[in-house]
Amino acid sequence: MPDGVRARIDEIVPTGLTRRRGKQAYDEIHRRDSGGRICVELDQSELVSMSFLDEIIFSAHMDGILDRVVFVTRNPDYVRKLGRVSHIRELEVRRLVDGKPEAIEPDPGPQMTVAPPGARPPDGID
């Protein structure tokens, strides 16, 4: 890719499971940055956590380069996690689809309801 950089996560860090590893991955991606598109390939990694992805996304946002970052994945679990981070951070996160960047739909995740103070569980639930 002449106008940018491709970064395979599995070649940068041994695991994509922690925020610390996300920072390590981001630092290496940022070091390789040539000013063009930054493609972050996830699919070769066995596991990628939300905190790992959040660290890469947040760091790229803070450095002002998130608009050039696209994630390359076909894994629906990774797409869901990217959507959750997008929703939580209120940032546009993109992935590469058929060679073109496409925004990932922000995913609010499961909705939880909180019982009011003093509420009792329904009958039959201990």
Q: Express each pLDDT in 26-46 by its tens digit.
A: 999 999 998 999 999 999 988
Please report where in the chains the tokens 């050039």 appear, as a residue: 68
Predicted confidence at residue 123, as pLDDT, reads: 67
CA–chain centroid gap for 125, Å, is 37
Of 63, 73, 68, 69, nearest to 10 (Cα)? 73
Predicted confidence at residue 46, as pLDDT, reads: 84
pTM of the shown model: 0.83
Residue type, 44: Q
Sign of the CA dihedral running 6, 10, 11, 17: positive
Predicted confidence at residue 112, as pLDDT, reads: 67
Predicted confidence at residue 1, as pLDDT, reads: 42
Of 42, 1, 51, nearest to 22 (Cα)? 51
DSSP assignments along 10-62, one per residue: HHH-S-B-SHHHHHHHHHHHHHH--SSEEEEE-TTSS-B-HHHHHHHHHHHHH
Predicted confidence at residue 73, as pLDDT, reads: 93
Low-confidence ranges of the chain (pLDDT < 50): 1-2
Predicted confidence at residue 83, as pLDDT, reads: 95
Please provide residue 25's backbone torsions phi and psi, each rounded to the nearest 5 degrees: -65, -45
Catalogue all structural domains in the chain, each as residue range(s) with its CATH number.
4-103 (3.30.750)
Residue pair 53/47 in contact by the 8 Å Cβ criterion: no
